[in-house]
């Protein structure tokens, strides 16, 4: 069964659509800069890729909703709206009569990858804690008069799933995946499987995260994962990752569903794979066994050979071990006939749970233009990454099939293959 | 031919007991687990009761101390419950097949512990407003282990490491539907051949100041502080909120034929997964049962079963006024005239609501009900809500009854609805034999 892609949406520090972000990458622009959202002067790490012109009410078009959601949710809802709108779904559904509209809603699924685990949501309790000075009884007594009664709802990791569902009358199969960095990509894979299974005719998939907050930056630094300034995938001088924020979204559907609307086809979902190394939360094998198996699983799922792939979007998060082991995985699978490799985190930063699906939207956009955008921060390829066909300059792709790789904590890895139609 | 999925191992840590036999006997006894909260000083809260895991300090944890530093209270529940499930299944990943083992979990809302939060507040927000500069010097904010324990993938990472699992891995969170959705996802992963065996379940502990606070603020928990053992009374006319619980439930799922070949004890076939989105309101369920109806119908369709095949429904039955009414309405639509023939109970009446773990523990309960041909009690039901009076509720005493198909509902905040369908292994064996003939 063919699964087509009819809508894409994205937002991050360098742009507010897949096209704008790929344009920025082609121009060599990066969102990585000194942190503006809090005073990080004097911090050992001071850089992030923030969405600086943040107007939440404008992004979601509903001021009242902002009481019920947080920053990460705003990105997710924005990207999903963009993808759903681009796919022409709202106008089509609004024109259906009663029963047909219900059937359409029930055959539409929603799969979201969510960051969750934000620290600052709990800071809403700080005024109460300051007032009660560690007196638990006082904390309980004063609770209702101090804390927003809707606090728990604003905090739910599955908010984007819920609100995208309500906004677009989606009533089909669904999931909210909270699996760190692979969350968004797993949402794409599970959403596609729901179509293959016949559970849904179309699915909205999204991933979102907003991890740029003091406690998170410090933790990533203490774990040795944050670069001092730049994110330099596969470069000999790379010194870590830089946190980003944002969201990506895709509409996937059966050919019949797309044809019924006369929807514009951006590409085709060909397959996905997932494989963990499972050696601990922060542990990574240096031989790239996990990402290699995820890529092999995606190729097998898509019934493709490595030679069919025309563009690779690497995870390329800029840390020493992740990039070197990813390079090992890519050379294990592709050997000496590797198609052009790119990576986007040098421009977008690393938006954690959103990163896999954001890269999927960017990989699709780049492959539609038949271009592998250059990795601008690359100066000298690390000998430990030898064989990875990455370059500072933009190049033509080798074909219309793009592979996107995603890696996360717990040694988790996922990979997705798509065919891009020329745009 | 479709790959079917067998349940071959069960494990739990719950307020009703810290292993499967202890929990099962307490469920048959039907005695509520609600009691004054001991995890922290809850005297000032409007609700001061919960169903806590007893003797959490003496749980049979794995001996690896370094590993345990990566986990919080709910992760310890997960490790112990998963250990029981793996032992029960009598099989473990080997270096040759560990890539064919997956792990899918329903996780709670991950964050730092309250003590760690309080430390950040004292140092970096003494007046209530965070001063980012002061975060730099605060101990918790510099402790990588506090970070690791707070991560959404902390649980799945611990479990994979502990058991040597190296295949498909995922964590899901759809509030109270998490455990059910995790097990449903795991079933699909096996069906499509992405794994042959999956350790699947859920774990949670929100019996903490911030966890309880969130539910108190929403008035979602029962305020019956003086009668905690009766606070959870699903379908009763006087019900007034859920009883917060904590714990973990795990199952070992295996591709049916391979389970049969190795002579595994098969509790039940995990036969169907129904999943729907209500898209109504965030906390409210539609009074008509819209949402849960589709989940139940999809689970039956996915299982290749008819409503007439169902003998037992383990209800979500939280004991909130709205949920139980909506769920009762859904049952009426799904089962139609036969609604009175389907036995129903909510085991939350005994052990409270385990939030992200609820669906997983209740999957274990369904597997046991099928294996034992015994239906656990819906405790604390005195005066049935007239809106629920059409339900055939197992009250007062457990019921001896063979179960062909059981359903388990898990309905979450945000409108995610999960319904799992379980089939008696003899029924499945008969279907498989017919398919083969």
The radius of gyration computed from the CA coordinates of chain A, to the nearest angstrom, equals: 21
Number of domains making up chain B: 2
* Chain B residues lying within 8 Å of A217, measured CB to CB: none
Nearest CA in chain B to A158: B174
Q: For residues B389-404, give the mean pLDDT.
A: 97
Tokens at A164, concatenated: 């995208």
Q: Are residues A129 and A271 in the same domain?
A: no
- Tokens encoding B208: 């903490």
- A93 close to A101: Cβ distance less than 8 angstroms: yes
Q: Are residues B129 and B225 in the same domain?
A: no
Q: What is the DSSP letter of B390?
A: T
Of B93, B127, B146, the residue that ends a domain is B146
If asked whether residues A89 and A167 sit together in one domain, one would say yes
Yes or no: say if A285 and B160 are a contact pair by the CB < 8 Å rule. Answer: no
Render pLDDT for A345-386 as a digit per residue (tens, 0 to 9): 999 999 999 999 999 999 999 999 999 999 999 999 999 999
Between A123, A175, A282, which is nearest B125 by CB? Answer: A123
| pLDDT, average across residues A151-168 | 94
DSSP state of A243: B
Q: Are residues B42 and B178 in the same domain?
A: yes
CB atoms A139 and B44 under 8 Å: yes
In angstroms, the CA A275 to CA B233 distance is 43
Do B138 and B287 sit in the same domain of this protein?
Answer: no
Are residues B387 and B287 located together in one domain of the fold?
yes
- State yes or no: is B33 an active-site residue: no
**Lowest-confidence range among A15-29, A182-196, B283-297, B376-390?**
B283-297
Q: Contact B421/B272 with Cβ under 8 angstroms?
A: yes
The yes-or-no verdict on residue B228 having pLDDT over 90 is yes
Between CA B163 and CA B177 the distance in angstroms is 25
Do B159 and B119 fall into the same domain? no
A336 and A196: one domain?
yes
B122 and B40 in one domain? Answer: no
Nearest to A163 by CA among A91, A62, A244, A248: A62
Round to whole Å and give the CA distance between A364 and B227.
Answer: 59
Is residue B69 less than 8 Å (CB to CB) from chain A? no
Considering the domain architecture, whether residues A137 and A169 belong to the same structural domain is answered as no
Does B128 share its domain with B184? no
From CA B345, how far away is CA B332, in angstroms rounded?
15
- Looking at residue A370, its pLDDT comes to 98
Same structural domain, B84 and B221: yes
Q: What is the rounded CA–CA span in Å between residue A111 and residue A93?
A: 19
We report the CATH number of the domain holding residue B88 as: 3.40.47.10
* Residue A277 DSSP SS3: coil
**Tens digits of residue pLDDT in B120-150:** 999 999 999 999 999 999 999 999 999 999 9
Last residue of a domain, one of A100, A133, A152: A152
Q: Provide the domain count of chain A.
A: 2
Q: Kindly state whether residues A260 and A142 are assigned to the same domain.
A: no
Q: Complex ipTM, two decimals?
A: 0.97
* Residues A112, A234 within the same domain: yes
Question: What's the angle, vertex CA B147, arms to CA B144 and CA B149, rounded to 5?
Answer: 115
Predicted local distance difference test score (pLDDT) of residue A112: 98
A287: which 2 tokens? 């031989």
B-proximal residues of A, 195-214, CB under 8 Å: 196-197, 199, 214
- Which stretches of B303-385 are assigned E, i.e. beta strand? 310-314, 343-345, 374-375
pLDDT tier, A116 (very low <50, low <70, confident <90, very high otherwise) = low
Residue A341 has pLDDT above 90, yes or no: yes
Same domain, A45 and A168: yes
What mean pLDDT comes out for the span B371-399?
98
Element (H, E) at A366: helix A355-368
Give the SS3 label for residue A159.
Answer: helix
Q: Which of A190, A179, A186, A407 is nearest to B171 (CA)?
A: A179
Assess B147–A contact: CB distance below 8 Å, yes or no: yes
Q: Are residues B105 and B229 in the same domain?
A: yes
Identify the pLDDT of residue B64. Answer: 87
What's the whole-number mean pLDDT along residues A177-196? 97
Are A162 and A33 in a shared domain? yes
Domain boundary among B99, B131, B146: B146
A345 plus A232 within the same structural domain: yes
Is A287 in the same domain as A142?
A: no
Residues whose CB falls within 8 Å of the CB of residue B119, separated by 6 or more in sequence, listed in order: B138, B139, B140
- For the cut 90, the answer to whether the pLDDT of residue A197 exceeds it is yes
Contacts of A172 in chain B (CB under 8 A): 276-277
| Residue B281 pLDDT | 84
**pLDDT tens for each residue of B46-99:** 999 999 999 999 999 998 888 899 999 999 999 999 999 999 999 999 999 999
B359 neighbors B367 (Cβ within 8 angstroms):
no
Mutation to test the B interface, candidates A35, A62, A117, A353, most B Cβ within 10 Å: A117
With beta carbons under 8 A apart, name residues in chain B contacting A191.
Answer: none
Contact A222 B192 (CB under 8 A): no
- For chain B, say whether A143 makes contact (Cβ under 8 Å): yes
> Which residue, B128, B146, B164, sits at the end of a domain?
B146
Whether chain A has a CB inside 8 Å of the CB on B225: the answer is no
Q: For A186, which residue in chain B has the nearest alpha carbon?
A: B170
Least confident of A20-34, A63-77, B57-71: B57-71
The two tokens of residue A280 are 């601990």
The residue segments making up the domain with residue A146 are 120-152
CA angle, residues A319, A323, A328, in degrees to nearest 5: 150
pLDDT of residue B428: 98
Q: Quick one: which H or E segment has residue B57?
A: none
**Residue A56 pLDDT > 70:** yes
Cβ contact A305:A223 at 8 Å: no
CATH number at residue A206: 3.40.47.10
Do A146 and A203 fall within a single domain? no
Indicate if A48 and A131 belong to the same structural domain. no
Q: What does the pLDDT average to over B358-371?
A: 98
Tokens 């040694």: give the residue.
Answer: A411
Output the pLDDT for position A117.
Answer: 63
Q: Count the Cβ atoms, other than its own, within 10 Å of residue B277.
A: 31
Shared domain check, B124 and B50: no
Would you call B316 a catalytic residue per the annotation? yes
pLDDT at residue B1, rounded to an integer:
64
Annotated active-site residue in B75, B103, B173, B176: B176
Q: Pick from A258, A231, A220, A247: which is nearest to A409 by CA?
A: A220
Domain ranges, residue B141 = 115-146
Average pLDDT estimate for B400-422: 96
Q: Is A40 a residue whose pLDDT tops 80?
A: yes
Task: Please tell me the predicted confidence (pLDDT) of residue B285.
Answer: 85
B209 in reach of chain A (CB within 8 A): yes
Torsion sign across C-alpha atoms A301, A307, A310, A312: positive
Interface contact A143-B40, CB threshold 8 A: no
The total of other beta-carbon atoms located within 10 Å of residue A307's CB is 12
Q: Cβ distance B397 to B346 under 8 Å?
A: no
């Amino acid at each position: 069964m063919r699964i087509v892609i009819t809508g894409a949406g994205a937002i991050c520090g360098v742009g507010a659509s897949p096209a704008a972000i790929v344009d920025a990458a082609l121009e060599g622009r990066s969102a990585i800069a000194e942190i503006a959202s809090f005073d990080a002067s004097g911090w050992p790490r001071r850089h992030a890729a923030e969405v600086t012109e943040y107007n939440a009410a404008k992004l979601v078009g509903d001021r009242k909703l902002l009481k019920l959601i947080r920053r990460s949710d705003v990105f997710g809802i924005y990207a999903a709206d963009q993808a759903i709108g681009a796919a022409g779904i709202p106008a089509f559904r609004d024109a259906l009569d009663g029963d047909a509209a219900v059937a359409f809603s029930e055959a539409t699924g929603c799969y979201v990858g969510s960051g969750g685990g934000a620290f600052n949501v709990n800071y809403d309790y700080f005024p109460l804690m300051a007032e009660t000075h560690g007196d638990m009884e006082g904390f309980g007594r004063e609770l209702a008069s101090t804390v927003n009664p809707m606090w728990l709802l604003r905090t739910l990791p599955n908010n984007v799933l819920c609100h995208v569902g309500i906004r677009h009358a989606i009533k089909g199969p669904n999931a909210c995946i909270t699996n760190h960095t692979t969350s968004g990509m797993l949402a794409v894979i599970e959403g596609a499987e729901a179509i293959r299974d016949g559970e849904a005719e179309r699915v909205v998939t999204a991933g979102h995260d907003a991890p740029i907050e003091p406690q998170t930056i410090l933790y990533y630094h203490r774990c040795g994962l944050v670069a001092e300034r730049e994110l330099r995938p596969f470069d000999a001088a790379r010194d870590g990752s830089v946190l980003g924020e944002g969201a990506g979204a895709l509409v996937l559907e059966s050919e019949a569903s797309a044809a019924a609307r006369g929807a514009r086809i951006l590409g085709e979902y060909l397959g996905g794979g997932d494989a963990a190394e499972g050696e601990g939360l922060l542990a990574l094998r240096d031989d790239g066994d996990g990402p290699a198996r995820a890529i092999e699983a995606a190729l097998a799922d898509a019934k493709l050979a490595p030679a069919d792939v025309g563009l690779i979007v690497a995870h390329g998060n800029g840390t020493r071990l992740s990039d070197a082991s990813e390079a090992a995985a890519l050379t294990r699978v592709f050997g000496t006939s590797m198609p052009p490799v790119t990576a986007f985190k040098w421009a977008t930063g690393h938006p954690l749970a959103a990163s896999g699906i954001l890269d999927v939207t960017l990989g699709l956009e780049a492959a539609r233009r038949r271009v592998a955008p250059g990795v601008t921060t690359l100066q000298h390829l690390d000998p430990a990454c030898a064989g990875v066909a990455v370059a500072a300059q933009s190049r033509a792709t080798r074909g219309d099939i793009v592979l996107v790789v995603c890696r996360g904590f717990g040694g988790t890895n996922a990979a997705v293959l798509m065919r891009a139609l020329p745009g | 031919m479709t790959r079917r999925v067998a349940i071959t191992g069960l494990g739990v840590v719950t307020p009703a007991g810290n292993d499967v036999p202890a929990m099962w006997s307490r469920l048959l006894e039907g005695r509520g687990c609600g009691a004054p909260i001991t995890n922290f000083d809850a005297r000032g809260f409007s609700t001061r009761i919960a169903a806590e895991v007893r003797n959490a300090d003496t749980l049979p944890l794995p001996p690896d101390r370094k590993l345990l530093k990566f986990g919080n209270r709910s992760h310890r529940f997960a490790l112990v419950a998963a250990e029981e499930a793996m032992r029960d299944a009598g099989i473990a990943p080997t270096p040759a097949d560990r890539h064919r083992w997956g792990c899918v979990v329903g996780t709670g809302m991950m964050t730092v512990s309250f003590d760690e939060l309080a430390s950040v507040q004292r140092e970096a927000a003494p007046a209530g407003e965070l001063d980012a500069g002061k975060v730099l010097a605060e101990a918790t904010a510099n402790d990588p282990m506090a970070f690791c324990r707070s991560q959404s993938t902390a649980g799945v990472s611990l479990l994979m490491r502990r058991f040597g699992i190296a295949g498909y891995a995922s964590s899901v969170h759809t509030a109270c539907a998490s455990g059910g959705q995790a097990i449903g996802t795991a079933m699909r992963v096996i069906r499509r051949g992405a794994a042959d065996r999956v350790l699947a379940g859920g774990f949670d502990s929100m019996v903490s100041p911030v966890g309880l606070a969130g539910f108190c603020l929403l008035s979602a928990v029962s305020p019956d502080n003086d009668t905690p053992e009766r606070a959870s009374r699903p379908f009763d006319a006087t019900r007034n909120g859920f009883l917060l619980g904590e714990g973990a439930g795990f199952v070992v799922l295996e591709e049916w034929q391979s389970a049969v070949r190795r002579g595994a004890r098969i509790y039940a076939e995990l036969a169907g997964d129904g999943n729907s989105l209500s898209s109504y309101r965030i906390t409210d369920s539609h009074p008509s049962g819209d949402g849960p109806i589709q989940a139940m119908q999809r689970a039956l369709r996915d299982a290749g079963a008819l409503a007439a095949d169902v003998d037992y429904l383990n209800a979500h039955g939280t004991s909130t006024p709205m949920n139980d009414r909506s769920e009762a309405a859904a049952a009426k639509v799904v089962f139609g005239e036969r609604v009175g023939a389907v036995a129903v109970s909510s085991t939350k009446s005994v052990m409270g609501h385990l939030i992200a773990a609820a669906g997983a523990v209740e999957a274990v309960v369904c597997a046991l009900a099928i294996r034992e041909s015994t239906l656990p009690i819906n405790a604390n039901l005195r005066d049935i809500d007239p809106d629920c009076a059409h339900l055939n509720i197992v009250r007062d005493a457990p019921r001896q009854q063979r179960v062909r198909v059981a359903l388990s509902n898990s309905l979450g905040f945000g409108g995610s609805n999960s319904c799992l369908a379980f089939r008696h292994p003899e029924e499945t064996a008969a279907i498989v034999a017919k398919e083969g003939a």
